[in-house]
Amino acid sequence: MSDPNTISCPRCAAPMEIGDVEPLSRVPCPACGERVRIARSFDHFELRETLGTGGMGTVYKARDTQLDRDVALKLLRKDLGPEYANQLQQEARITASVNHPHVVQVFSFGRDHDQYYLVMELVDRGTLDDLIAEQKKLPEADALRAGIEVARGLRAAYQKGLIHRDVKPANILFNAEGMAKISDFGLAGIVEPNAQTSGAIWGTPYYVAPERLNNQPEDFRSDIYSLGATLFHAIAGRPPFDGETMSASELRALKNNPLKLKDVAPEVSRPTASVIARMIAPDPRLRFASHDALILALKKSERVLRGEPEPWRAKAALLIAAATLIALIFFGWIFFSRHRAPANITVSASATPAFDANREFDDGCQQIIDGKYPAARATFARLASETKNQQPIYDWALLNQAAAALLDQQESQMRQALQEVENAGSGGFADPQLGAFFLDTARRANMRSAIVLSDIPDHPAKPFALFLLGLTDVQLGRFNDAKALLETFTLSQPSASLSWIDKYKPIARKYLEDSRAWLAWREQYGSAKSPAEIRSALEKLRALKLQKPTTISAEALLVERTLANRLGEAEKAEKSAQEKQHRDLLAREEPRWNAALESFRRLAAIYNFTGAASAIKKVKLTEPSLRQTQSNYQNAADWLAQWKATLINDLNARTFNGTVVASDTQYSGISGATADKLKVKVPYGSAETTWLKVPAATLVMISSSFATDADRQWRCGVFAWAVGQTNAARQLFDAACSAKPSYKEARKFFDQTKP
């Protein structure tokens, strides 16, 4: 098999090593100096041209040869090895679920030539970054339209639980109609998850939200900040702050004092400047409270820019909303002034007269047990809000909220809950060790790094940490570590005060069973290569009964699709090889067969059926179709030889009385026969003539008169077929098959073949 990392120079045929060469680059031949363009395919995607290079890798225009369409293939950096594969698969799976006109669609994820790749919708009319480089400043109307479209895409993704984390001009693409689309959801956080810890900030610093620099949790408002900084740059032709630095500490100071858009772009309208100023507010609470609010504000700026009046419905809605807000504030003031909670509230007491923290906690636990994860998230979030700074109930609520989000595959909400545990710190606990344990557990779950059993210190709350961190390892695709944690959890014995943790064991057992099944399959079938091995691996994979939807089932589905593609390609290659082998074999053996068949026909034409059978038998064939045809002709030759021998015996023993014409002479019958001659009756005895002088139709008629059973009728039919008496052959075959159905299969050959 040829080495995919070596090619031959098309000019001098010298071998060229291309293992580490970038696809589509031109490499000089070490022997003759010819610059050779390195063509590459990844699975069934043929790379056609380079579209761009970024922090994660290079994007190519590629051809999907299976679906016959152009796609964008992002070839990820080689240093993104197996430790990132599961995160990348998870992000690709979630992003692929976002089907929206302003989000670049993700089609598939795969690995070939030891590199991971993403296959996406092809959007090839450039990026916003290209437009800024070309035009310096974009017209305000164009920037607003792009901002509205990107905000809609971000909203659709957020409804699936996704935040982008890296909104910037290079990730905003345009199609042929000029429509903006946002790409690369969530991948930046995976590619360089630990960059902040080194004191530098990854990516382009202009668009990074300040909360990331402060190690605070990110949410959709971080994307709003990045989009605002992007629109500022597009309209003003410069970023929203002076100075360039990659230091997180220096960036904090710069971002806390952004430039005013009107100062650097006086021509911009005041509504647009106001919207962008709110988008890039350093404090997330001062930004827009939802994507809908942002889109409404951008659309209002667009209407003002076009000189259109504001719709009366929008004005009415704003007035109603304002009146409602004032009323709520007024009545809320009255309510809280009358129902102010006592200052000495305890953990077991209600935060408000209508709120029972213990009952709320029990309800949330039961919702997790029942698989009602969204409801559990809401319950524990409400409990955390009502018990703010009341430990340990506050941290218990947040940790259970994180567990519910993790089980519901809502990673951003899980990370936010864990970050709030970290922000709360270890103070305020009657048991300082418990506070430190909670803080350590939250940090480990939020680090996105390997969590092993030995990392978890002993503590009465350890069973819950085993459960939460085991699920975290599952979510990160570290199934061996997850198995150890979940096994230990299922064997643990929580103290009486924490007996509620025991009720989570059935959930853990399901994930433990899935982890074991997946690891066992991967160990046995993960290295399948041949078509037979891949086929067997697919069968076993499809037989796995994994709960859905989980990270394990998502990975299994992706592997199943990859194996199915590999099997299709392998079977296609195998079929192609077999077809070539068949053609080559036919080319070698057909001349020998044709010569034998010609000998058969020549000998059969002179009724030398024994010789005809010998000519067929002696040719050596291995090609299956030729061997089958040879077998059919051999059977025919044997039947013909039997037909002639039987007829000779009949004529010698019983004679034939009836008119026989041979060479224009009429005889009254045949009194005997040998292999070469027939004895015909004359008035005063007999005379000899050759078999060939008697018409074939007469011989068919004579032999048929003796054919009293199915076998003799069959052999007469074969002779009729051999001498071209088609109608007679059909009638004789019909009679033989009716009396003896076992001849029906053999008859197919004679019905389909001319003698």
H/E element holding 34?
none
Give me the residues paired with residue 106 across strands.
Answer: 120
Please list, in sequence order, all residues whose beta carbon lies within 8 angstroms of the beta carbon of residue 291, skipping any fewer than 6 positions away.
151, 152, 154, 155, 158, 220, 224
Tokens of 365: 């636990």
The residue count for the chain: 755
Say whether 114 is catalytic. Answer: no
CA 294 vs CA 148, 152, 727: distances in Å: 8, 10, 87
Contact predicate 57/73, CB 8 Å: no
Could you tell me the end-to-end alpha-carbon distance of the chain, in angstroms, rounded to an integer? 45
Q: What is the C-alpha separation between 659 and 650, in angstroms, rounded?
A: 17
The residue behind tokens 């950096």 is 77
Count CB neighbours of 331 within 10 A. Answer: 10
Nearest Cα residue to 718 out of 708, 732, 698, 705: 732
| DSSP category for residue 198 | G
Nearest Cα residue to 585 out of 624, 546, 541: 624
Q: What is the C-alpha separation between 132 and 87, in angstroms, rounded?
A: 32
Tokens of 510: 């399901």
Please pick, among 64, 166, 638, 650, the residue that the annotation labels catalytic: 166
Nearest Cα residue to 88 out of 111, 72, 121: 111
Nearest Cα residue to 183 out of 149, 139, 228, 132: 149
Which string of DSSP letters, residue by residue, matches 347-382?
A: SSS-SSTT--HHHHHHHHHHHHHTT-HHHHHHHHHH
Kindly tell me the burial class for residue 322, based on how many C-beta atoms sit within 10 Å of its own C-beta (0-12, 13-18, 19 or more): exposed
Q: Beta strands of 85-159 (E only): which ranges?
A: 106-112, 115-120
Task: Put residue 492 in one of left, alpha, beta given phi > 0 → left and psi -120 to 50 → alpha.
Answer: beta
Q: What is the C-alpha separation between 649 and 573, in angstroms, rounded?
A: 58
Contact predicate 551/409, CB 8 Å: yes
Q: What is the C-alpha separation between 75 and 494, in angstroms, rounded?
A: 48
Tokens of 501: 């943790």
| Sign, Cα dihedral of 510, 512, 516, 521 | positive
Task: Put residue 724 in one of left, alpha, beta given phi > 0 → left and psi -120 to 50 → alpha.
Answer: left
CA 199 vs CA 38, 42, 250, 282: distances in Å: 39, 37, 10, 20
SS3 state of residue 20? coil
Angle made by CA atoms 218, 221, 227, in degrees to the nearest 5: 110
Tokens of 435: 């506070």
Q: What is the C-alpha separation between 85 and 118, in angstroms, rounded?
A: 11
Q: What is the C-alpha separation between 42 and 57, in angstroms, rounded?
A: 15
| Sign, Cα dihedral of 115, 120, 122, 124 | negative
Q: What is the C-alpha separation between 721 and 521, in angstroms, rounded?
A: 60
Query: Which value, in Å, is the radius of gyration of the alpha carbons in the chain?
Result: 42
Angle made by CA atoms 457, 459, 462, in degrees to the nearest 5: 80
Active site residues: 166
